[in-house]
Amino acid sequence: MHNPQHLPAVKAHLLLAGLTVLPCFVHVPYSVSIVLHAALTVYVGAWRSLRGEDGGPTESMTNSDAMRFPLVGSCVLFGLFLCFKFLPKELVNLLLAGYITIIGAVVVVGAVLPFAERLFSPKQRDRVLRFGTLPRIPFLVKEPTPLELSLPEAVLGVPALAIGAWYFATKNWLANNVLGLALSIVGVEAMSLGSMQTAGILLIGLFFYDIFWVFCTPVMVSVAKNFEAPIKLLFPRSSLRAAAAAGEKAQFAMLGLGDIVLPGLFVALCLRFDAERKFRSTYFQTVFWAYCGGVGTTIFVMNFFKAAQPALLYIVPCTLGAVAAHAALRGELKAVYEWQEAERPAAAADGADGAAGSGSGSKKKE
């Protein structure tokens, strides 16, 4: 079980939760809301990646995975475009939104679990409830798997499924954002890019991927507008109360989860790099503020040209460039470029906002 005493970025969790529901009460300029949501989500996910009984992320990407990712992503994106073009939009959204909503509801449990476990005694936390066996499902479940949940997971499962049902039935923006934020936080927490080289390969590939599909084709924008699933965050463009009083439908700006999770993995990697050095370096601060600058630049250009922008066009140069410049100034460019994580990073963060943890394993490529 997670140790609540080492739960990182507690203040950031609370700020993100408050910011998410704030538009229900007062209007927040969507440009400000986008930047704050993206920054806090990446910050929370990065610090969470330092903890856990397994010592950090459980899934790692290789260089070959990073090279294939933009190609696979392109195939999936174009496939969705064709589905929306030639199949009933309602049917496509029903199937895909239902699948993603169920995953999102499950992920909500993982996102809230470290907090909720504090409410249970050690004996209750260790209690395992068995709900039968999941049958083999092609492409989803490879072999029959026992369905077992701890007592806190089972209790949290009820409101999590309720949020999923709420979104699926109403497509409400707040339910969408709860699911989307949970997916983003757990995604940054659970995945690792493995090495700085892999991070560079992935982000550079996605830089060209985003440019091509947004500027050279209508595919990306078309899919984003038609795909009704919690794969993006929604931000009210005007006061929700004013729109409701006028009997008008609220308009929303959007930010894709990929623009949070994928660069967020690099930010988290830099944090674990600092943790391996017992925080004697500050690459995390550099890349985090560079990410904020990249998101802010995206919003500025979008508003200036009144057109959708590929966020990674601005985020990737900001983050990679900032880390490279930082390393060059410290005379560590080669060391940073060659650094990679061990299979099981082992770092712990004490406190919410930057206390040093124990070192994570690292090794150099031979």
CA atoms within 13 A on the CB side of 221: 12
Q: Residues 259, 274, 350, 353: which is the catalytic one?
A: 259
The rounded distance, in Å, linking the Cα atoms of 85 and 236 is 28
- The secondary structure of residue 50, as a DSSP letter, is T
Look up 353 and say whether it is catalytic: no
For residue 363, what are the β-bridge partners? 340
Residue type, 317: P
CB 214 within 8 A of CB 301: no
Look up 259 and say whether it is catalytic: yes
* Burial status of residue 310 (CB atoms within 10 A of its CB: 0-12, 13-18, 19 or more): buried
**DSSP H helical segments within the chain, as ranges?**
10-21, 30-48, 63-86, 89-116, 122-126, 151-170, 173-190, 196-211, 219-226, 240-245, 258-276, 283-305, 312-329, 333-338
The rounded distance, in Å, linking the Cα atoms of 49 and 60 is 12
Closest CA to 107 of 8, 180, 168: 180
Q: Residues 54, 65, 126, 210: which is the catalytic one?
A: 210
CA atoms within 13 A on the CB side of 340: 18
Catalytic residues: 210, 259
